[in-house]
Structures are given as structure tokens and as C-alpha cells.
Amino acid sequence: MEERIYIFDTTLRDGEQSPGCSMNIDEKVRMARQLEQLRVDVIEAGFPIASVGDFEAVNAIAQMIEHCTVAALCRTVRTDIERAWEAIRNAKKPRIHTFIATSDIHLVHKLKKTREQVLSDATAAVRLAKSLCEDVEFSCEDASRSDIDFLCKIVSVAIDEGATIINLPDTVGYAVPEEYGSMFRLVRERVSGIHGVTLSAHCHNDFGLAVANSLAAISNGVRQVECTINGIGERAGNAALEEVVMALRTRKETLGFDTNVNTEEIYKSSRLLSTLTGMNVQRNKAIVGSNAFSHEAGIHQDGMLKSRITYEIMTPQSVGIKHSTLVLGKHSGRHALKQRYAELGYELTNDDLEEVYRTFCAVADQKKDILDDDLIAMLEDRGHTAEEVYQLENIQVFSGTNLRPTATVEIRYHDKRFVDSATGDGPVDAAYKAIERITGITGKLTEYSIKSVTFGHDAIGEVFVRVDFDGVHFNGRAVSTDVITGSAKAYLEALNRAMMAKKRRQEQQSAAKEQPVAV
């Protein structure tokens, strides 16, 4: 039976205080709700003395969260501690987290205090915090660069004053795993009261070692890990929660630990944070990057199609991602290509596959990602061209300030003309709604862009759209001096491609049914 590691999430404190990651109160509350869904053990909601906004956010989160402990950060200063307590006193499970730097570098250059003064500040702070709140965490900022004897001394004092959690951060991401682990080992060996408290790791990622250091700390007696969603945080960030949690979950047999995190909420949490802060994760980010479950190399795709355990150490579903993707590009092989066509509803014979694979390789050399629509176009190029089933005859749009945009569209469909009108959020939206009313086909616009292809006030604009029809994406492109006309034409092109693909699929299916069955 594995032991439990407590996950202390500091996305809303250490994460939020880093450049480009600030959130307003409502956004912090939304994020905190998601962290509760994720089932972290502790949410560090902020640093209440820092600003009124910080205080209010911590206070709102403290009142709302049901199951997690809510921690508030404060220096070892009376006013800080009292303010932190005021912010969290109504929480179901409040925690005061007080900290002071312990390395000589910080004492000399930042605090300008002696070790004795720091010791006395820590003693008074933990005592005050404990008189207010049962759950008190004490952190030695820059612990990994602190003198070990002094570190043991201050930890011992904090425990005597009632601290329940002792956190020893690698504040500047300077430690390497063995060293960071051995700091905990030494503290455990030398501080007599240490076994009555929970030891905590808090790592920054300046060398990209934050997760490795956290795991080394766990091997040396740490049972709480402080981390952030997407690894956001000061400078290079903090240990990424998703990486720590998934390493522990996936390698449970080897490491012997697990967390209470609902890992299926990981991706959602990552996405929410990116949306709220506008800070996207890099494509190759472990666990939550868009490439984390994508395979492009032919050998990998072939392996994946035979058995996913060849190239995936955890399932995308286990972190809340629907499925892995085989990205079709110049490294893909026939097997993956055939599979994608099958998913799009086309069963290719070996001859079909050979022919289309040749075109595919030529296109893939020019174009990075090959989309579903490109694949369908490759089939069409072999004698099946898209018919202009729906043709734009006319379009008229009314829009202006204080006027709900209305579009009237006339479409020709097999020599018959149809006219309808609709209103929308903008003139293009109104036009697309009118097209939907006429055709009875609903598409979801997933991409829309306009670029100017000539210059001047009568410039020609090229409209590009990508539309999702029943889960398959089709592109449409049109040029016009009028962007609304161009937008309608581009949409109809995507729609006509979707109709063509559907027709081809139906033809294939009925041909397959008519095949004589061998007896």
C-alpha cells in the first residue's frame, strides 16, 4: 500500500505573483473552484498583506472552499500574520503560512539581520500564528543555501512553538536532487521533534530540476509537495503539479507514493489557468502541452496503432485529454494515413492507398500539418472534384451602431433559388445564420481570418475559414473586395467540401454493400 503525498497548490500565490500571470478576484475564485475539483489538499490562496485585492481574493476563497485547506502567506511580522488570519479565519480548514529567509546571503544582503534576530522573529511569529490557528506552516526561505546547523536550529524552534508543517524551499532553484534530498535527511536526523510534523518541499525550476528535486525530497521523508499548475511561478516557475502528480501515479510501484488528486481534472485545470492568465503552455510541455499525446514519426504511429503502450506511458484520458493524436506530416507512414482515412469514413484499397500516399508525401514536404480537409482534397484530385452544390447568388447586410446586424442571403441549389434572412452578433455571423437557415446544415466555425492580398482602399481580401461539420473540419477560402461576400463564399466552399465528402462516403458504403459475399 502506497503512502500519501499531500499536494499544496500555490498557483494562486507563488504562481500568480510571477510576470504575466496575475488574475483578478473573480478569476482567482474560479481557479480555486477548479483546484478543489482537482482535489488538491491545500490551496495557498495568496499573500493578504500584499494588497487589498489579495486580501479580498484570499477571503473569498476561504469562505467558499469546502474540502481543501486554505493557506494564507505572511512574513514573520505581527501585522502580516494578523492580516493573514483575518483573511482565512472563516475557512473550514485554515492554515497560516509564515516564512523568513535563513541563508546568510539573504540575512546579510536583504534582511540585514543577524541569525539571532531571525531566530527570535521566527519564534515570535510561530507563537502568534499558533495562538490564532491550529494549522501553522513555517518556511525557511532559501533553505537550500542555508547553513545546515542554523537551519536545524530554526526548524527545531518552530516545532517547539507549534508549527505543524516545516517547509524547506529551494527558493532560487539552485539545488540538485541529491543535495536537496540530503538536506531533508540531515534535518530529520538532527531535529528531535521532526517526526511529529510534516516535511514539505518547495522547488523552483531555474535549472529545470524542480520536479526531480521534489521527488528526491519525497525519498528523504517529505510528505507535502508545493507546486503550481503548468509550473507557473517566479522566474522559471515552480515544480509543475501535473508532472509531480503523474510521476507519482504512473510510477507508484517504483516510488511507493500516491496523491489524492483527481488526475482526470488536470487538463481542464491547465486550460483554465491558460485562459485566465493568457499564458499558454509550450507545445512540448510534459503532460499538458499539445504535443504531449501527439505522435508524428512513422515508426511511432505504427507502434501506437499496434499497441499504445509502445509509445505512451500514461493514457491521455488519465489526465482528462480525450484521445492521443497521430499528427499527419512528412514523417507519417501508410498505416497512419489509412487509419485516418478510415476515421473520416473512407476505406482505401491498397492501390488507392499507394496512389494517395504518393500525393501525401509530396504535399507533406511543402506543408507542416496535413488536415482532414487536405486528405479529402487528395482523394478528390484523383478525379473527384468538389461540386459547387450551394452557390452564393446574392447577399445584403444591414449593420451599424445600435442596429442588430441582419443578413439576407440568396443561394442557388440545383437550379433552384432560396432566400432567407437572419440576425447575428455581427454581419458575418448574421450571414452564416442565414446560410444555415437555407441549407439546414449547422457548422461550427473554428477558425476565421481575413488578409489583404492587394493594397489600397479597394484592396482584395482573402477570407479563410475552418468549419467543423459533424466533427470533421473543412476549409474554405474566397477572395473578394467585400469581406462579407468573401466570408459567405468561403463558408459555402467549406460546406460544399463537406457535402462532397459525405457523398463519397455514401457511395463507398453502398459499393461495399453490393460486393458479392464469398461462401
DSSP-derived secondary structure for 345-388: T----HHHHHHHHHHHHHHHHH-SS--HHHHHHHHHHTT-PPP-
Which residue, 176, 90, 106, 178, is CA-closest to 139?
A: 106
* Contact flag: residue 181 with ligand KIV (CB under 6 A): no
* Stretch binding ligand KIV (CB under 6 A), from 166-174, 308-316, 321-329, 465-473: 166-174
Q: How far apart are CA 266 and CA 244, in angstroms?
A: 12
3-state secondary structure of 16: coil
Near ligand KIV in 456-495, by CB under 6 A: none
- Say if residues 42 and 69 touch (Cβ distance below 8 Å): yes
3-state secondary structure of 143: helix
Query: Which of 77-92 are b and which e, b meaning 16 or more Cβ less than 10 Å from the residue's Cβ?
Result: beebbbbbbbbbeebe
Mask for 336-355, x = binds ligand KIV (CB under 6 A): --------------------
Q: What's the min distance (Å) between Cβ of 173 and ligand KIV? A: 9
Among 9, 14, 27, 36, binds Zn ion (CB under 5 A): 14
- Say if residues 224 and 234 touch (Cβ distance below 8 Å): no
* Stretch binding ligand KIV (CB under 6 A), from 28-36, 164-172, 261-269, 469-477: 164-172
Length reported for the chain? 519
* Stretch binding Zn ion (CB under 5 A), from 13-21, 134-142, 419-427, 456-464: 13-21
What are 243's three cell numbers? Answer: 508532472
Closer to ligand KIV by Cβ: residue 44 or 265: 44
Q: What's the min distance (Å) between Cβ of 226 and ligand KIV? A: 7
Q: How far apart are CA 164 and CA 166, in angstroms?
A: 7
Task: Look at residue 99 and give the partner it binds from ligand KIV, Zn ion, none, a contact being a CB closer than 5 to 8 Å depending on partner kind.
Answer: ligand KIV
CA angle 468, 470, 471 (to 5 degrees): 65
Q: Cβ neighbours of residue 374 under 8 Å, at least 6 residues apart?
A: 363, 367
* Contact flag: residue 161 with Zn ion (CB under 5 A): no
Among 169, 181, 316, 424, binds ligand KIV (CB under 6 A): 169
Closer to ligand KIV by Cβ: residue 169 or 486: 169
Among 99, 257, 267, 341, binds ligand KIV (CB under 6 A): 99
* Contact flag: residue 493 with Zn ion (CB under 5 A): no
Chain residue whose CB lies nearest Zn ion: 14
Q: What's the min distance (Å) between Cβ of 169 and ligand KIV? A: 3
Q: What's the min distance (Å) between Cβ of 226 and Zn ion? A: 7
Q: Cβ neighbours of residue 259 under 8 Å, at least 6 residues apart?
A: 4, 5, 6, 7, 41, 245, 248, 249
Where does this chain bind Zn ion (CB under 5 A)?
A: 14
Where does this chain bind ligand KIV (CB under 6 A)?
A: 14, 99, 139, 141, 167, 169, 171, 202, 204
